Each structure stands twice: as C-alpha cells, then as structure tokens.
Amino acid sequence: MTRGELHENLMVALDTLRTHKVRSTLTVLGIVIGVTSVISVAAIIHGLNRFVAKRVEQIGSRSFFVARIGMSQAFGGLTEKYRKRRYLRHSDSDYLREACPSLENVTSFSSIPSGPGDPGSARTPDVRYGNEHVERLFLRGVEPEYAQALPIFAVAQGRFITRDDVDHARPVVVLGDAIALALFPRQDPIGRTIRLDGRPYQVVGVFEHDPGLFGMPGVDQFVILPVSNFRKNYPEIREVMLVFTIQEEADPGAAVNEVIEALRRLRRVKHNDENDFEVFSPDFLTTMWNQLTGAIALLTAVISSVGLLVGGVGVMNIMLISVTERTSEIGVRKAMGARRSDIRAQFLMEAGVVTLLGGVIGIMTAAAIAWVVRSTIPSIPATLSLFWVIVGVVMSAGTGLFFGYWPANRAAQLDPVACLRYE
C-alpha cells in the first residue's frame, strides 16, 4: 500500500466516524473502559512497586533477620511445631559475631507487641507526659548496633542508645516522630522526662519521620530503650530477634548459610532435622506485595478483557453494518481496479482507527486517574510508565485488527457485479 493509498484510507475512516458519531462513540466506549481499567491499575501498581522497593532499600538491602517464627508462619497461623520452638537469646548475637566473619554487624532486640505465641504479646505499653497520652506504640529494647543494622532508624534530634546506656540499664528512650509530636506538640522533647508504664524515662533522641508501609507500623510508632533496661522491666517478654548485616565484599547467600550453620551448632539441631529458627530479609515485603499485586493484575485483566470483548464485538458490528451500507461503493472501487487486498486494508484501517482512538482516550483517562490518586493520596504514588502506554496502544490496535478482520475480509470477497446491482 502506497503512502497516498494509506492517507486516502485514513481519511475515509475518519469520515465514517464523523458520519456516524453516536454509533462510533458507543463502539469506542467499550475500548475506553477496557484500556482505562488496565492502564490505571497498572499505573497504581507500578508506583507502589517502586515505593515498596524504596522502602526495602531504606530498611537495609544487606540486612537480615533471625526469628524463632518467620513472617509466613506468623501470618498463616501457628502450629504446635512452631510454638514449641526454643526462644532465641540475646547472647546469640555475641556468638554470631565470633563465629561468622562475613558479618559486618549483628545485634539482638525484643519488642512489645512481641512475636506470636509470646506470653507478653497481648500487652500494650503506655507512655505519658503531663496531660498528653499515647497508647498505640511499639516498645523495643535494643543495643547500640541496632541503628547501623537498620538504617531506617535514623535519629533526627538528639542521639541513639549508647553502650554506656546498655551497660548501666539507663532509663532513657528515643521516640518516634509521631509519638514525640503527640507528647510534645509545642516543646523540644530532648531532655524531658516521660512516664513509660508509670516509670520515668529521659528522652535522649527523636527519630526521623517514617509513617510505615500500608498500615504496618513505621518508625513513627516506636519507642526505643536500652535492651538491658527492657529486660529488667519486662522480664515476661521472652521473644528475641536478631538482625545482622553482611560485609560489602561478602556473598549474601554464603553469609546467610554461615549464620544458619552457626545457629544450628549453637542450638544443637541434629543433622537431619530442619531449622528451629527462620532467617529472612526485608525482601519478604516485596515477595508478599508481588503476590498481592499479581492477584490484582489478574483480576484487572479479566475485567478489562470483558470491556475489550464488548468493544471488539461493537467494532465487528459497526464494520458489518458499514460493509452493508457501502456495498455499492465497494462495487465501484472494484470496477475501477481495486484489489481485494485494497478493500480489506481499507476496512481494517477503519476498524483500527476506531479502536486506536478508544485506546488513546483510555490512556489519557488512566493518566488523569493516576494523577488524581497521586495528588489526593500521596502514599499511593501512581505512575504511568511508557511500557504500559505502549501496551495500551497495542491492545486497542490489536482489538481493532482482530475483530475487524472478518468484516474486512467479507467486504473483500464481495462480487463486484452483485455490488453494483445492490440497492
């Protein structure tokens, strides 16, 4: 097909759309709905994927956790096998420092709320200053190395827990940003004395703002104190977790295996028995999120395919009607030397223009939806990527070619003599 023929077919297609505005609009609508649903959901998921990846990087891309019970078991429900596992100990971190040369840092911590199955997991700590009161918080006892192991716990004001604080079990705390604002809305919190479960503690630091991820607790909801003071005042909390970081030059897989072997020796796990502890990285957030978004993407694909199917059937219908209405025109063109391929290309061009127009409108609508979502809900950074724009164009054009081929082929097969006699 020459450039002139291509231009002529395009003008004929646009003229057909202008002639039958209502019919063309209803046909385009199905394509718009299908493309909009796919692209808008993809934009939201793409933005959230980047957000989750950034979050994992903030937690520490070379940081790993060791726990008696892993995240998958905690979310999936605990069986008796996991409940009977022995608790980790704070001294385990000292052993790993000596036994694992690939580690850059290793430290232990305990929390309230603590882990599943822990005796103190149901209690809720309470913090007060004057008339201000905060109940929904996470209390955690840590060592000084904790801040290096998890960079997300960065101090904005004051200082972090020191080795001297741990050695003397000092009553000092570092507050999350939201807790500090709630207790001290118009004062500098550093140096003030709060009451934590009725006991006096001096505020020595405030963390940088971090609201958390998808409803999960962020640093804003944490109160950090020396692990020795935590163990003295909350002896009922038995759940202990370890966190370690790997040296830059070390292989992460080999380092994790080194930790696993060291803990198996320390905990006297028999050769053929499975581990009685779990080692995992912040990547479990990415894995969980990918599983969730995979299900969402599949559901969206099913819904959008219905919209595209409706639009495609509409395209087929309008093209069949167009073939019938223009039977005489087809006869004249064939009498003047038009080949079957020319007729087929003309009607395929019309079908493609209809669906491509729907695809462009759908992409523009999805971009507007992504902008509105990003502007009104900053925690959902919807982003329209070039990949999904191309997908939208291909989907819409492909729908037109697929559903427009049969009417176009039917027009190409018409007998010119019968067409000229048609009224």
Separation between Cα atoms, residue 216 and residue 210, nearest integer Å = 11
The reply to whether 297 and 381 lie within a common domain is yes
At 234 the pLDDT is 92
The reply to whether 45 and 152 lie within a common domain is no
Separation between Cα atoms, residue 339 and residue 335, nearest integer Å = 10
**Residues shown for the chain:** 423
The domain tally of the chain equals: 3
The reply to whether 259 and 314 lie within a common domain is no
Its domain, for residue 231, covers 121-235
The reply to whether 412 and 320 lie within a common domain is yes
Separation between Cα atoms, residue 238 and residue 93, nearest integer Å = 15
Residue 204 domain-assigned? yes
At 327 the pLDDT is 73
Separation between Cα atoms, residue 318 and residue 301, nearest integer Å = 25
At 229 the pLDDT is 95
Q: How far apart, in Å, do the first and last CA atoms of the chain sit? A: 30
The reply to whether 366 and 410 lie within a common domain is yes
Q: How far is CA 114 from the centre of its chain?
A: 26
At 419 the pLDDT is 65
At 300 the pLDDT is 67
At 117 the pLDDT is 52
At 145 the pLDDT is 92
Residue 68 domain-assigned? yes
Q: Are 90 and 108 in contact (CB under 8 A)?
A: yes
Residue 215 domain-assigned? yes
The angle subtended at Cα 380 by Cα 378 and Cα 386, nearest 5°, is 110
Residue 115 domain-assigned? no
Residue 304 domain-assigned? yes
pLDDT along the chain (423 residues), means of 10: 64 68 74 82 78 68 82 59 84 91 91 61 78 88 91 92 94 94 92 93 93 70 94 91 89 89 90 86 63 66 71 78 74 75 77 83 88 80 80 82 81 72 59
Residue 109 domain-assigned? no
The reply to whether 223 and 129 lie within a common domain is yes
At 240 the pLDDT is 92
Q: Are 240 and 109 in contact (CB under 8 A)?
A: yes
Give residue 114's identity as a one-letter amino acid code. S
At 411 the pLDDT is 78
The reply to whether 170 and 94 lie within a common domain is no
The reply to whether 336 and 218 lie within a common domain is no
The reply to whether 85 and 151 lie within a common domain is no
pTM of the predicted structure, to 2 decimals: 0.65
At 226 the pLDDT is 96
Q: Is 192 exposed, middle or buried (0-12, 13-18, 19+ CB in 10 A)?
A: middle
The reply to whether 150 and 230 lie within a common domain is yes
Check residue 169 and give left, alpha or beta (phi > 0: left; psi -120 to 50: alpha): left
The reply to whether 83 and 151 lie within a common domain is no
Q: Which of 62, 56, 46, 48 is nearest to 105 (CA)?
A: 62
The reply to whether 209 and 328 lie within a common domain is no
Residue 166 domain-assigned? yes
Separation between Cα atoms, residue 137 and residue 114, nearest integer Å = 12
